[in-house]
Amino acid sequence: MKNRMENNVLNKKPISIKWENVRRNWYKFSRNKLSIVGLLVVLIILFLVIFAPLITSHPEAVTKYVNFSEAKKPPSLSYPFGTDIYGRDTLTRTIYGFRISLLMSVVVLLISVPIGVILGLVAGYFGKWVENLIMRITDIFLSVPTLILALALLTILPRNLVTTMIAVSLVWWTWYCRLVYGLVTSIKSEFYIQANELIGEGKSSILFKEILPNCLSVIITKMTLDVGAIILLGSSLSFVGLGAQPPTADLGGMIADGVVYLPDMWWMAVFPSIALVTIVLGFNLLGDGIYDMFSLGEA
Amino acid sequence: MEKSLLEVKDLNLHYVVFGGSLKVLDGVNFRVGFKENIGIVGETGCGKTTTMKAIMRILGMTTAKISKGEILFKERDVLKMNEAEVQKFRRREISMIFQDPTAALNPVFSIKSQIYNVIKYSQGTEKKLTKKERKDLATKALSDVMLPDPERVLENYPIQLSGGMRQRVCIAMALLSDLDLLIADEPGTSLDVTIQDQILELLNELVRKKGISIILISHALGIIKNITHRTYVMYAGFMIEAAKTTELFSNPLHPYSKGLIASVPTLVGRGISNGIPGHIPNYSNPPLGCRFHPRCSYTMPICKVEKPPFLTVSDTHQVACWLFKKEGDKIGK
Amino acid sequence: MNNRNLAFIIKRLLYSILILWGISLLIFFVVRIIPGDPARMALGTQAPEDVVERLRVEMHYDKPIFIQYYYWFKNVLRGNLGISLVTKHPVLEDISELFPATFEIALYAFIFIAVVGTAIGVFSARYSNSWVDNLGRIFAYFGIVTPQFVFAIMGMLLFCYVFKILPSMGRLDPTLTYPAKITGLITIDALLQGNFIVFFDALKHLILPVLSVGLGGMAQSTRITRTSVYNNMRKDFIAAAQSYGVPDRVIMFRDLLKVSMNPTVSILGLQFATTLSNAFLVELIFNWPGFARYGMTAMLQKDLNAISGVVLTVAIFVMLGNIFADIVNSFLDPRVYLLSTSKE
C-alpha cells in the first residue's frame, strides 16, 4: 500500500475545488455502500455530541449525582440503557462518553499531526544526521506498544484527562513522522532532478508548495482512521483507570465499572461496549471511504 | 487436410471484472502442424498470451472464463479433459516459455529447487530418478542451453543471474520433457538485442534438433521472418490473416497487416513510417462487426455489422476481411 | 545457512540491541523527570531526614543524571531492577513470578494469530470474492474495530453465562493444584509431568483470554496475507508452475505461500509485543494472576522501579519479535540478504 500511495502522490495535480471534482469524489467515495454507512454513523454521533445537553433526558447523570433508589435498574422506557450503581442513566452517560472520546481524538491529532508532519519533512529534506537522529527516535517510540508507553508516561504524571491526552500525543506523532518521511524521501528523488533545473526556486519552496499539498490526501485519510484508533486506545486507558476521572462519563471507564456486575446487571457494560464498537466502526468505514475517494489504493 | 498437432477452433474467452466482463478472445482460429514453426504477430494486448494460456489451461487463478470453442491437441479437446488428463498434457506434451523470465521464476526458490521440481513432474511416472541421475539431468539441461558452469547456476537464486541466463534457464526447464509443442511468448523481448539474437538462435536449434513444433509469439517481425514457416496476424482477440511467412511479408493483404509490415523501419526505401493510427479497442465494450473497423481506412458498411470469417485467398493465404470476399467466393471459400 | 545470511542476521541483531538500548534510555529519563524527591517517595513522609539522605547517596540520586543512568544500566545488566515500592520485593523476582501467566496467554494468542490468521488470509485470496473471502474480511474488520476487552466481555457473557461451558475466572479450577513450576506455563508444566487433568482444565481457562486477544490481533495479519497472496497469484511464475504440471495444491502451499509470507512475517514480528500488551487488558477481566495487575498497581502507586521493569520486559519482547521476524524472513526469501548488502 505504501508504494501505491507514493505513486499517487507523485502523479497528482494540485487540489482544486470545483463542482465537477466534488461530484467525482462523491462517486468514488460512495461506490462502496459501507462508506456511506460510516458517514451516516459519524454524522449521527456528531449530532449527538454537539446537542448532547439538549437531547439527553437525565443531564444529572454526568455529575456527582447519586440516587440509590434508581440504581441498578434494567433498561426501560425512562432509562433505555438502564442505570448504573449510582442511579445514573447509562444512555446519557454514553452520549457524553462519545464527547470525551471525540475530544480526545481531536486534541491528540491537533497536537501530534503538526509535530509529526514537520519532523517528517525535516528528516526527509535535510537528511544526514538530522534524518538519522529523528528516525532512530521514531523507531524507538514505535517499537514499544503504545499502551505500554502511555502507561509508563502516566505513572509519573498526575492522572487526568489532560495528561492522558498529552501522553498519547507524545507517542502518536511518530506515526505521522514516519509516514511523511517516507513520502518525502521518495518524492525527493524525483524532484531532486527537476529542482536543479529550476533557477532561483529553492528546494524548500518546492517541498512546501508542491509536495505538502499532495501529501495531504494521505494525511487526511490516516487522520480519519486514527480517530477510531485513538478512541480505542483512549478507552483501553480509561478502562484501567486513566483518562477521564469520575464522575465524568467515559466509555472505557463505564465498561470497567460495569464488568464487575456481570452477568446480572449486564447493561452497565454491554451498552457502552456496543457504543464503543459503533463509533470506531463508523470512523473506520468513513476512513476507508476517504481512502477510496482519494484513489489511494489504485496503482 | 493433413493431421494437425494443434487446432484451435472458435475460441471465445472473457475475464470477469468488477462491473462487467472483458471480452478478450472473440473466436480465435488457428492450427499448428507437426514439426511446424508457427509465428503469431500482433500488438500488445491483442490476446496472444491469453490464447496460449488458454491452450495450456493455466488460467486457473485468474477470472477468465471460456464461453465457446474447442482446443484440439492431437484430436483430443483440451477443454474437455479431466484433471488427470490435463496434468499429463501439461507435463509431457506441451511447454511454454514466458515473456519475462524474471517474472517466470519464483524468486524465493533456488534454480536447483525449481528445476528439480520440474524434473519431478516431467519425466513420467514410470521413471524414478536417483539423486545423481536427477543432478545429471539438470546439469545437462542447463548446458544444452549454453549456460557456462551449470553447477554454480543450480546453486544460485534467480536474482543472482542476468536476464539472459534466466531466459536460458526457463528454456531449459521447458524442454525437460518429451514434448511435442513448445510455445515461446516473446522470448528475449526484455533482453538486450544481441542476447535476444542468441536466444532465438538457440531456440531454433533446439526445436530443430528435437523435432518439435513451436508457436513463436512476437511483435518483432524480423524474428518471425527468420524462424517460422507460417505466420498468423492477430488483432483484438481474433486472427485476421494467416499465410506462409514469406508470402505474408511480401504480400500482406489485411489493412492492419499492411500497416504492420510497413511500420518496420528500413535502411533504404520507406525509412520510418507513421504507424497505424488509433489503438486497440476497449474489451469491455468492443466494436461490433470487425473489431478493426474503427481504425481501418477501407471500412465498408458491412464491416461495422458483421464479423468477417476467414476467407481463403490461396492455398497458403487466408484473411479475415470483407475486402476479399470476392476472392474468397472465386475459390469457393 | 550461508555467510551472507548470517551477516545479515547479525547486523539486524546489533540494530535491535541498539534500539533496545534506546528504549532503556527513554524509560530511564522519562521516569526520572518526575518532580519530587525519589528517595523521599520511597521511604515515605514519616522517615527521618538522615535516613532519607543515606538512601539518596546510596542510590546516587544526588549525582548528575548521566551518572545515575550509568549506575542504573549497570544494575540492569546484572539483573538488578530495583525494589518494588509496593511489594517490597526485587522487581526481577516479582516479574519472573507473575510474567509466565501473561506470557501463556500471549504465546497461544500469537500462535493463533500466526496460524489461523495466515490460513484465513491465504484462503481468502485464493477464493477471492467467495463466501470464504467475505466472511474472513468481516471477521478481520470486527477485529480491527473492537477493543480486546470488549471481545473478552462479550465472550465471557456468551460462554460463561449464557452457554455455561467455559470458566470465567483464573487459570485453574480452585479445586486443582498448580503443577510444579518448570516453565511457569501451566499447560507446558502439566504436560511435562503427565498431569492431563490439570492440562485440560488450564486449556479450558485459556480459551477465552486467548481468543479475545487473538481474534482482535488477527485482523492485520489476515489483511496483509490476503493482499500479498492475491498479488502473487497472478504472477507468471505461478502460471509457469501450472504449465509444468505441478498440482494446484502443491502450488498453493509451496510456491505461493513461501513467496507471499514476507510482509506477514514482518507484521507478526511487530505483533509479538502487541499481543503481550493486549494480554494486559484482558487479564483484568478474567482475574488472571499475571503481569497486568502488577503493572497497574505500579502505575497507580507510582512504583517507578516496577513500571520500569515492566516496560523493559515488553521492550525485550519487541526486540525478540523483530529479530525473529528478520531471521524467519531471511530463510524464506533470500532476496532479503542478497539485496541488502548492495545498498549498504
pLDDT digits (tens, 9 = 90+) for C293-316: 888 888 777 777 788 888 888 888
Laid out side by side, the sheet with B311-314 consists of B94-97, B181-185, B213-218, B37-41, B230-235, B238-244, B317-319, B311-314
Domain annotation covers residue A168: yes
C235, C238, C245 ranked by CB distance to B91: nearest: C245
Q: Per-residue pLDDT for A111 more than 90?
A: yes
CA distance C126 to chain B (A): 8
Q: Per-residue pLDDT for A7 more than 80?
A: no
Q: Per the CB < 8 Å rule, is C243 touching B58?
A: yes
Confidence label for A221 from pLDDT (cuts 50, 70 and 90)? confident
What CATH code is carried by the domain that includes residue A97?
1.10.3720.10
C239, C243, C334 ranked by CB distance to B108: nearest: C334
Q: Per-residue pLDDT for B116 more than 60?
A: yes
Domain annotation covers residue A14: no
Q: Does residue C137 sit in the same domain as residue C261?
A: yes
Which span out of A72-76, B15-19, B133-137, C184-188 was modeled with the highest average pLDDT? B133-137
Q: What percentage of chain B has pLDDT greater than the value 90? A: 23
Domain annotation covers residue A18: no
CA distance B236 to chain C (A): 22
Give the architecture (CATH level 2) of B4-332.
3-Layer(aba) Sandwich (3.40)
Q: Does residue C39 sit in the same domain as residue C98?
A: no
CA distance C87 to chain A (A): 17
Average pLDDT over residues A57-82: 73
State whether residue A40 sits within 8 Å of chain C by CB. Answer: no
Average pLDDT over residues A81-103: 83
**Could you count the other beta carbons within 10 Å of the beta carbon of residue C303?**
26
B53, B104, B121 ranked by CB distance to C245: nearest: B121
**How many CA atoms are closer than 13 Å to the CA of A82, on its beta-carbon side?**
17
More confident residue, A115 or B124: A115
Boundary of a domain, candidates C33, C53, C78:
C78
- pLDDT at residue C343, rounded to an integer: 35
State whether residue A259 sits within 8 Å of chain C by CB. Answer: yes
Restricting to B residues 101-140, those with a Cβ less than 8 Å away from any Cβ of C are 103-110, 117-118, 121-122
Q: Does residue C309 sit in the same domain as residue C176?
A: yes
Contacts 24+ apart (CB under 8 A), A20-29: A25/A293, A26/A293, A28/A292, A28/A293, A28/A295, A29/A289, A29/A290, A29/A292, A29/A293
Q: Does residue C156 sit in the same domain as residue C269?
A: yes
Q: Does residue C25 sit in the same domain as residue C133?
A: no
Whose CA is closest to B26, among B306, B315, B332, B322?
B306
Domain annotation covers residue A242: yes
Report d(CA A283, CA A289) in Å as an integer.
Answer: 10
C72-113 pLDDT, tens digit per residue, is 788 777 777 777 777 778 888 888 888 888 888 888 999 999
Q: What is the pTM of this model?
A: 0.79
Report residue A245 as a C-alpha cell. Answer: 476521572
Confidence label for B333 from pLDDT (cuts 50, 70 and 90)? very low
User: Which chain A residues touch C23 with a CB distance below 8 Å?
Assistant: 140, 143-144
Confidence label for A209 from pLDDT (cuts 50, 70 and 90)? low
Which span out of A116-130, C74-88, C233-247, C278-292 was modeled with the highest average pLDDT? C233-247
User: Which chain A residues touch C274 with a CB distance below 8 Å?
Assistant: 145
- pLDDT at residue B52, rounded to an integer: 92
Q: Per the CB < 8 Å rule, is C26 touching A151?
A: no
State whether residue B52 sits within 8 Å of chain C by CB. Answer: no
- DSSP letters, B244-269, are EHHHHHHS--SHHHHHHHHTS--SST
Q: Among A191-200, A272-281, B133-142, which is the least confidently predicted range?
A: A191-200
- pLDDT at residue A79, rounded to an integer: 75
- pLDDT at residue A52, rounded to an integer: 76
Distances (CA, A) of B177 to A43, C225, C245: 65, 35, 11
User: Which chain C residues touch B100 with a CB distance below 8 Å?
Assistant: 236
Average pLDDT over residues B37-49: 87
Q: Does residue C110 sit in the same domain as residue C210?
A: yes
State whether residue B87 sits within 8 Å of chain C by CB. Answer: yes
Q: Per the CB < 8 Å rule, is A145 touching C150?
A: no
Angle between helical axes of C91-112 and C196-233 (0-180°, round to 10): 50
Q: Per-residue pLDDT for B272 more than 70?
A: no
Report d(CA B144, CA B172) in Å as an integer.
Answer: 7
**CB-based contact B73:B93 (threshold 8 Å):** yes
Q: Per-residue pLDDT for A228 more than 70?
A: yes
Whose CA is closest to B37, among B190, B235, B223, B254?
B223
Average pLDDT over residues B107-113: 91
C119-152 pLDDT, tens digit per residue, is 888 888 888 777 888 888 887 888 888 888 888 8
Domain annotation covers residue A129: yes
Residue C45's domain spans which residues?
A: 3-78
Domain count, chain A: 1
Best residue of C5, C126, C243 to probe chain B, by most B CBs closer than 10 Å: C243
- pLDDT at residue C341, rounded to an integer: 45
More confident residue, C189 or B168: B168
Report d(CA B45, CA B235) in Å as an integer.
Answer: 9
A137, A144, A273 ranked by CB distance to C311: nearest: A144
Average pLDDT over residues A91-95: 84
What are chain A's partners, defined as 3 or more CB pairs within 8 angstroms? C
Boundary of a domain, candidates C78, C110, C134:
C78
CA distance B227 to chain C (A): 24
C258 → chain B, closest CA residue: B108
DSSP B281: P
Whose CA is closest to B136, among B155, B122, B116?
B116
C31, C304, C315 ranked by CB distance to A144: nearest: C315
User: Which chain C residues touch B17 with a CB distance below 8 Å?
Assistant: none
B222-240 pLDDT, tens digit per residue, is 888 888 999 999 988 889 8
Q: Per-residue pLDDT for C159 more than 90?
A: no
What is chain C's mean pLDDT, rounded? 81
Confidence label for A211 from pLDDT (cuts 50, 70 and 90)? low
What CATH code is carried by the domain that includes residue C220?
1.10.3720.10
CA distance B321 to chain C (A): 34
Average pLDDT over residues B275-294: 82
- pLDDT at residue A190, rounded to an integer: 64
Q: Does residue C162 sit in the same domain as residue C301?
A: yes
C272 → chain A, closest CA residue: A145
CB crowding B46-75: b at 16 or more within 10 Å, else e = bbbbbbbbbbbbbbebeebebeebebbbee
A171-194 pLDDT, tens digit per residue, is 889 888 888 888 777 766 666 545
- pLDDT at residue B32, rounded to an integer: 92
A241-269 pLDDT, tens digit per residue, is 787 777 787 888 888 888 888 777 888 88
Domain segments of chain B as ranges: 4-332
What is chain B's mean pLDDT, rounded? 85
Whose CA is closest to C335, among B169, B98, B110?
B110
Q: Per-residue pLDDT for C344 more than 50?
A: no
Domain annotation covers residue C83: no
- pLDDT at residue C288, rounded to an integer: 84
CA distance B238 to chain C (A): 23
Domain annotation covers residue A146: yes
Q: Among A3-12, A219-228, C141-150, which is the least confidently predicted range?
A: A3-12
C147 → chain A, closest CA residue: A232
Q: Per the CB < 8 Å rule, is C277 touching A147?
A: yes
Domain count, chain C: 2
Q: Per the CB < 8 Å rule, is C157 touching A277?
A: no
Q: Does residue C293 sit in the same domain as residue C249?
A: yes
Residue A180's domain spans which residues?
A: 2-6+25-63+84-294
Q: Per-residue pLDDT for C66 more than 50?
A: yes
Confidence label for A3 from pLDDT (cuts 50, 70 and 90)? low
Q: Per the CB < 8 Å rule, is B173 touching C247?
A: no
- Cβ partners under 8 Å of residue B17, min gap 6: B63, B284
- pLDDT at residue A113, rounded to an integer: 92
Q: What percentage of chain C has pLDDT greater than the value 90? A: 4
Give ipTM to 2 decimals: 0.84
